[in-house]
């Protein structure tokens, strides 16, 4: 079987997202398999554990809900290893979840015996802000857990995979997840020195939604994360210009009225005269610097802070426009116009709808980023959502695994190439 | 594509009958109260054996509790499938062997090894041709001075993202026969792991300029390295 032919069957991709783990071989076609990126450490004294004693002491995949116990128990036993895109060096629990998920994914796609299988070419993707020790640890896990399932392995950053999956070789990718966002310029290689990380993501939009619920008399719902997230997704809007959107919504309250009924319950949220506040949710994601947010900070909502994780500083209050400019301006001047020409948005934090009646004041994510850049004098810009926001990282990993020559060996300076796995 | 439940040919016959494609499958279910009755297990197995003339595949579905006492190798030797169930799920402990003796004999066309190898050669030639064509297309684009990023990538998703079908689960309030029916339906569907076509590349490969860029990795290292 020739090399290309072999890899057209045995290329395997793993996308370690903040919430979901997407995995599977090239033969799955367009859609990978998805499980939550989490693991549960069951109480070994529980009846469920004794009755169905699992082979591993970390439960991952579809079986997790069967072992869940009380809510108090979850905070310590249910581990989301990539919640912030990074795992601490000494967080053994999180690394055990990653290890178990990797084995679980490869075991789910065991090829038929005697069909020429000599191990998968595995491409895993991590957050672009992952420090070097995460690469070392992850590659080490693949070496340990191999058991003939892996021929060679590599790790690439998620924004790089997004650019590959979208088919654009020179661009800026903004990947925004639950806990943080990353701006990464790409020009055939990821330009790591120009990356900008933001300490702001979907979780911050949840925080302001929770404050709005408290202010409008739904304080009892404001503590239930799942409800808050649903409210955010259903009533949150991104304004083209916050001041004019608020003025318009106050002038025509029926037009902008925000109502949401929680499915399967009697709970209905109606912001009535305060419906203008739905625009704060989207604005806060893209630009938390408007003075209106100061009142929330002064009443106790935490202001997104600059934090240092590993070698990276995650900026709290930088708006997306400034973040893109800061990132692009670290690249060579002659490359900059080409980078602005293709700005790709990826991740669930950019999925904002525009209701038909509010098209004059609400905008989608690409338009908002374009407006933020225009305000700073950058006009010749093309901003797009990735064609397949949920799966573009996995697609990129599959293409990378298929196309990169087998003899391109792993290099710790480049953080690229194939690392051979001994069987 | 799924299994279809069919009525039992003999009204006195216990268990569930299904039609999977052209094969008939029969499942005898041991209920927990059967365990208390003397000889009920051996009686059920004997009845299953007697179905050889009417079914291609037979299963015994037993409570998981019996797992420790049943010797699976006997079932394997006689080609009878064995399923264990509890309130959570159904597992196939022993896969059934189709009962060849009762299957109408059809003449199998002899496989010509020459033909098989020719087919493999043709397949690899087609694959190579497709790669060359992509490269030619890119070269042509460069010749015409097309924009650097091409913009020709137009992914055509054949279907929207679908959730992974969950494993069959026995909830306490679900009728066990319904659950078995749903299990066989799922079993009859093409398995997702090998559902794609090996050798046929997904649509997001079409006109993707990265195929050329990445295939040159390691050949000329004058590119911009990671900072």
CATH number at residue A299: 3.30.420.570
- pLDDT (tens digit per residue) in A299-325: 888 898 888 877 778 898 999 999 999
Number of A to B CB contacts under 8 A, please give it. Answer: 152
Cβ distance B163 to A34 less than 8 Å, yes or no, reads yes
Cβ atoms of residues B203 and B155 within 8 Å: yes
Give the span between the Cα atoms of A56 and B55, in whole angstroms: 39
Contacts of A75 (CB under 8 A, 6+ apart): none
- What is the rounded average pLDDT of the residues B126-141? 80
Window 176-235 of A: residues touching B by CB (8 A cutoff) are: 187-194
Cβ distance B204 to A62 less than 8 Å, yes or no, reads no
pLDDT band at B31; cut points 50, 70, 90: confident
A360 falls within a domain: no
pLDDT band at A54; cut points 50, 70, 90: low
Angle ∠(A2,A3,A7) on CA atoms, nearest 5: 115
Chain B: give the shortest CA distance to residue A362, in Å: 27
A272 falls within a domain: yes
| pLDDT higher than 50, residue B167 | no
Q: Tell me which DSSP letter residue A56 carries.
A: S
Report the pLDDT value the prediction gives residue A18, as an integer from 0 to 100. Answer: 81
- pLDDT (tens digit per residue) in B80-91: 888 888 777 777
Q: What is the DSSP string of B65-90?
A: GGGGT--HHHHHHHT-EEEEE-SSBE
Cβ atoms of residues A275 and A361 within 8 Å: no
Give the span between the Cα atoms of A82 and A132, in whole angstroms: 15
Chain B interface includes A23 (CB < 8 A)? no
Chain A: give the shortest CA distance to residue B132, in Å: 13
Cβ distance B227 to A416 less than 8 Å, yes or no, reads no
Report the pLDDT value the prediction gives residue A187, as an integer from 0 to 100. Answer: 95
CATH of span B4-102? 3.40.50
B39-46: long-range pairs with CB below 8 Å, 24+: B41/B66, B44/B14, B45/B80
Report the pLDDT value the prediction gives residue A95, as an integer from 0 to 100. Answer: 93
Chain B interface includes A22 (CB < 8 A)? no
Residues of chain B contacting residue A408, judged by C-beta atoms under 8 Å apart: 217-218
Q: Which residue has the higher pLDDT, A243 or A380?
A: A243
| pLDDT higher than 50, residue A350 | yes
Instruction: Nearest chain A residue to B220 by CA: give it.
Output: A408
Cβ distance B153 to A166 less than 8 Å, yes or no, reads yes
Picking from B161, B210, B215, the nearest residue to A391 by CB comes out as B161
Show the tokens assigned to A416.
Answer: 């690229």
pLDDT band at A73; cut points 50, 70, 90: low
Report the pLDDT value the prediction gives residue B53, as an integer from 0 to 100. Answer: 72
Q: Which residue has the higher pLDDT, B6 or A256?
A: A256
Chain B interface includes A166 (CB < 8 A)? yes
pLDDT over 70 for what percent of chain A?
A: 94
Go through A116-151 and write b for each residue having 16 or more CB atoms within 10 A of its CB, e for each that does not: ebebbbbbbbbbbbbbeebbeebbebbeebbeebbb
- What is the rounded average pLDDT of the residues B159-171? 37
Report the pLDDT value the prediction gives residue A296, as an integer from 0 to 100. Answer: 93
Give the span between the Cα atoms of B3 and B19, in whole angstroms: 6
Cβ distance A170 to B149 less than 8 Å, yes or no, reads yes
Contacts of B151 (CB under 8 A, 6+ apart): none
SS3 B114: helix
Given CA atoms A357, A360, A363, A367 in this order, what sign does their dihedral have? positive
Cβ distance A167 to B150 less than 8 Å, yes or no, reads yes
Query: Which of A81-85, A217-221, A261-265, A277-281 has the highest mean predicted lDDT (pLDDT)?
Result: A277-281
> How many domains does chain A divide into?
2
- Cα Rg of chain A (Å, integer): 23
Q: Among B159, B87, B216, which Cα is nearest to A416's?
A: B216
Give the span between the Cα atoms of B227 and B214, in whole angstroms: 18
Contacts of A168 (CB under 8 A, 6+ apart): A186, A342, A344, B149, B153, B209
A162 falls within a domain: no
Instruction: Nearest chain B residue to A7 by CA: give it.
Output: B199
Residues of chain A contacting residue B167, judged by C-beta atoms under 8 Å apart: 62
- pLDDT (tens digit per residue) in B174-225: 344 444 444 444 443 333 333 345 567 888 998 999 999 999 998 755 444 4
Query: Which of A171-180, B11-20, B56-65 has the highest mean predicted lDDT (pLDDT)?
Result: A171-180
| pLDDT higher than 50, residue B105 | no
Report the pLDDT value the prediction gives residue B193, as an integer from 0 to 100. Answer: 39
pTM of the model: 0.65
Report the pLDDT value the prediction gives residue B107, as an integer from 0 to 100. Answer: 42
Q: Which residue has the higher pLDDT, A17 or A33?
A: A33
CB A178: neighbour CB atoms within 10 A?
22
Chain B interface includes A351 (CB < 8 A)? no
pLDDT over 70 for what percent of chain B?
A: 54
| pLDDT higher than 60, residue B116 | yes
* Distances A61 to A50, A323, A398, B1, B69 between C-alpha atoms, Å: 19, 36, 22, 27, 30
Give the span between the Cα atoms of A219 and A17, in whole angstroms: 31
Cβ atoms of residues A144 and A417 within 8 Å: no
Q: Which residue has the higher pLDDT, A140 or B226?
A: A140
Show the tokens assigned to A263.
Answer: 């499915």
A270 falls within a domain: yes
Report the pLDDT value the prediction gives residue A402, as an integer from 0 to 100. Answer: 94
From the centroid of its chain, how far is CA A166?
16
Report the pLDDT value the prediction gives residue A69, as an integer from 0 to 100. Answer: 62
Contacts of A166 (CB under 8 A, 6+ apart): A344, A386, A387, A392, A396, B153
Per-domain residue ranges of chain B: 4-102
Residue positions counted in chain B: 227
ipTM above 0.85, yes or no: yes
Give the span between the Cα atoms of A77 and B26, in whole angstroms: 43
Q: Among A79, A76, A4, which Cα is nearest to A37's?
A: A79
Residue that terminates a domain, selected from A303, A338, A364: A303
Give the span between the Cα atoms of B210 and B188, in whole angstroms: 38
Instruction: Nearest chain A residue to B158 by CA: give it.
Output: A30
Residue A182 bridge partners (DSSP): A175, A197
pLDDT over 90 for what percent of chain A?
A: 59
Chain B interface includes A395 (CB < 8 A)? yes
pLDDT over 90 for what percent of chain B?
A: 4
Scan for tokens 């066990």, then name that residue: B176
Residue that terminates a domain, selected from A278, A303, A328: A303
Window 241-270 of A: residues touching B by CB (8 A cutoff) are: none
- What is the rounded average pLDDT of the residues A84-91? 83
| Residue-number span of the structural domain to which A62 is assigned | 39-79
pLDDT band at A45; cut points 50, 70, 90: low
Cβ distance A31 to B224 less than 8 Å, yes or no, reads no
| pLDDT higher than 60, residue A63 | yes
Give the span between the Cα atoms of A40 and A132, in whole angstroms: 27
Instruction: Nearest chain B residue to A393 by CA: give it.
Output: B204
pLDDT band at B39; cut points 50, 70, 90: confident
Instruction: Nearest chain B residue to A168 by CA: give it.
Output: B149
Show the tokens assigned to A71.
Answer: 């809510």
């Amino acid at each position: 079987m020739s090399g290309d032919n072999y890899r057209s069957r045995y290329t395997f991709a793993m996308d370690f997202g903040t919430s979901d783990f997407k995995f599977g071989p090239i033969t799955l076609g367009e859609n990978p398999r998805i499980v939550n990126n989490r693991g549960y450490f069951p109480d070994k004294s529980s009846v469920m554990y004794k009755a169905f004693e699992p082979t591993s002491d970390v439960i991952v995949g579809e079986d997790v809900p069967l072992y869940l116990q009380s809510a108090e128990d979850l905070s310590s036993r249910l581990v989301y290893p990539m919640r912030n895109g990074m795992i601490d060096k000494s967080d053994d629990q999180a690394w055990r979840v990653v290890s178990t998920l990797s084995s679980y994914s490869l075991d789910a796609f065991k090829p038929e015996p005697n069909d020429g299988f000599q191990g998968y070419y595995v491409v895993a993707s991590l957050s672009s802000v992952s420090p070097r020790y995460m690469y070392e640890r992850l590659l080490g896990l693949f070496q340990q857990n191999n058991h003939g399932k892996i021929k060679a392995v590599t790790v690439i950053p998620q924004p790089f995979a997004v650019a590959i999956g979208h088919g654009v070789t020179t661009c800026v990718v903004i990947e925004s997840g639950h806990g943080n966002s990353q701006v990464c310029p790409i020009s055939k290689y990821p330009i790591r020195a120009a990356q900008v990380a933001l300490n702001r993501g979907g979780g911050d939009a949840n925080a302001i939604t929770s404050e709005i619920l408290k202010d409008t008399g739904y304080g009892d719902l404001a503590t239930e994360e799942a409800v808050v997230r649903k409210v955010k997704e259903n009533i949150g809007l991104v304004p083209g210009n916050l001041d004019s959107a608020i003025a318009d919504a106050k002038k025509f309250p029926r037009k902008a009225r925000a109502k949401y009924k929680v499915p399967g319950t009697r709970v209905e949220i109606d912001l009535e005269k305060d419906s203008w506040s739905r625009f704060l949710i989207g604005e806060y994601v893209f630009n938390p610097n408007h003075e209106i947010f100061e009142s929330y900070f002064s009443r106790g909502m935490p202001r997104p802070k600059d934090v240092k994780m590993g070698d990276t500083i995650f900026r709290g209050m930088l708006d997306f426009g400034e973040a893109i400019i800061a990132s692009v301006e670290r690249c060579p001047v002659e490359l900059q116009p080409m980078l602005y020409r293709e700005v790709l948005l990826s991740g669930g934090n950019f999925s904002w709808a525009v209701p038909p009646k509010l098209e004059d004041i609400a905008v989608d994510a690409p338009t908002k980023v374009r407006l933020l850049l225009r305000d700073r004098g950058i006009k010749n810009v093309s901003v797009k959502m990735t064609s397949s926001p949920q799966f573009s990282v996995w697609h990129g990993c599959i293409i990378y695994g298929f196309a990169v020559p087998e003899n391109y060996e792993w290099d710790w300076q480049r953080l690229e190439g194939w690392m051979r796995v001994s069987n | 594509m799924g299994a279809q439940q069919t009525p039992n040919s003999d009204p006195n016959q216990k268990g569930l009958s299904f039609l999977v494609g052209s094969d008939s499958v029969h499942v005898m279910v041991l209920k927990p109260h059967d365990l208390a009755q003397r000889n009920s297990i051996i009686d059920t197995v004997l009845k299953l054996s007697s179905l050889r003339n009417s079914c291609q595949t037979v299963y015994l579905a037993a409570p998981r509790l019996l797992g420790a006492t049943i010797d699976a190798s006997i079932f394997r030797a006689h080609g009878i499938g064995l399923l264990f169930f509890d309130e959570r799920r159904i597992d196939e402990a022993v896969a059934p062997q189709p009962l060849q003796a009762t299957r109408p004999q059809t003449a199998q066309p002899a496989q010509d090894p020459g033909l098989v190898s020719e087919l493999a050669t043709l397949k690899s030639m087609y694959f190579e041709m497709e790669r060359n064509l992509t490269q030619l297309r890119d070269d042509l684009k460069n010749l015409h001075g097309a924009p650097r990023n091409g913009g020709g990538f137009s992914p055509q998703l054949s279907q929207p993202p679908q959730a992974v079908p969950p494993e069959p689960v026995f909830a306490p309030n679900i009728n066990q026969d319904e659950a078995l029916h749903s299990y066989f339906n799922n079993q009859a569907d093409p398995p997702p792991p090998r559902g794609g076509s090996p050798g046929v590349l997904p649509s997001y490969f079409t006109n993707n300029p990265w195929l050329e860029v990445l295939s040159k990795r390691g050949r000329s290292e004058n590119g911009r390295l990671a900072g």
